[in-house]
Structure 1
Amino acid sequence: MTITLHGACCTLRSGGILIRGESGSGKSSLALLLASLEDGAFVADDRVVCDVNGGRVLARAHPVLAGRVEVRGQGILTVAELGLTSCEEAILDLVVDLVDSSPRLPEPPASTDLLGVPLPRLVLDHGVRAAGLAPLLIRAALRKPTP
């Protein structure tokens, strides 16, 4: 089974990250920020095509949008124009949900199910993202062993 999700996808240290959130929440911006890091790469923006391969979720760009990203106020740019490394697909290791706000001391988020495969989930609110802590927290989440 294949599904197409509204989101963005990138990698860090070869770990695939699916970023979800409402329109305008910063999915593309966060994916670009992560992809601009030394060990990052850009996979997809806006429409992420996912399917299961060997018990893992594989994500790639929708063919119409491959190699492109929408930057609010700038239009649609190519990953090459931005000088970023890109990769055609990524095995997802983490789902990041962008929200407006979250409790000060929340319980750890439950994993999320994507195509019948449980994946670790990280919830990042606007304040954490505005403080520039998202890359640090995402790296920490990728280092955690999966249960």
Structure 2
Amino acid sequence: MSYAILLILHLAAAVAFIGTLFYQVVIWRAATSELAESSLQEVSARLSAVTRKVLHWVVLVLYGAGIGLAWHYRGVLADPFGSPFATLLTLKILLALSIVGHYLAIAVLLRRGRLTVRRNRLLHLAVLLQMLLIIVLAKGMFHFS
């Protein structure tokens, strides 16, 4: 697949992923903070189910295209601290792997029945902050190198 197509797929999936998470962390929380738990539970459960189905595909495209783009820069990544570009790309990849780790933690906590509302919010906030840092690093890769 060409670099341009991988880049477009990666950017579109990143927009969808970050937008969805921003909606969940900021907008949904603010909009539902004063609703009764009984009215919120059913809508929240349905929204979560649909979000998971859609995001599985979005994440597959995001990380698949990201791997393809990283392969394009494999020579640069051979020396991860050899240039500002390589360092920023390496940090971006490490943050992307950290996000996977956070979602694995959510899955494990959910399976074990230990995912509290507070933990869920904190983990999602951490992921959102990491995503925002990835955006800054991505822009920096081409402006500081």
Which bracket does the TM-score occupy, shorter chain normalised? under 0.3
- TM-score, normalised to structure 1, is 0.20
Q: Write 1 or 2 for the structure with the bigger share of strand.
A: 1
Q: Write 1 or 2 for the structure with the bigger share of helix.
A: 2
- Bigger Rg, which one: 2
- TM-score, normalised to structure 2, is 0.20
Greater RCO, CA 8 A, separation 6+: 2
